[in-house]
Amino acid sequence: NPTKTFVAAPTGGNGATCRSCANCPWMAMNGLKSISEALENPLGKEITVDVDLAEKALIPLHRMLNFAAENQLKVKGNA
């Protein structure tokens, strides 16, 4: 869109050692294959969080899935 400015977000902010997740060398190490394997075979890769935090985290995930459904985008999984 020529009328908008897109920013690679989130940005690091003051005192951060990085510019954004979009330019992060650590994030670049996460390929689709390894992410898919971790989701399909999570044994030993589990992360536990507080129930309240998990419930709050589901809100943006559901928003993204609803956005995909409303725009007829294909997503993988059964979330």
Q: Is the pLDDT of residue 79 over 60?
A: no
Q: Is the pLDDT of residue 6 over 80?
A: no
pTM for the full model?
A: 0.41
DSSP per residue over the chain, as a string?
-TTS----SSB--TT-S-SBGGG-HHHHT--HHHHHHHHH--TT------HHHHHHHHHHHHHHHHHHHHTT----S--
Q: How confident is the model at residue 16 (pLDDT cuts 50, 70, 90)?
A: low
Q: How confident is the model at residue 71 (pLDDT cuts 50, 70, 90)?
A: confident
The alpha carbon dihedral of 24, 30, 43, 51 has a sign of positive
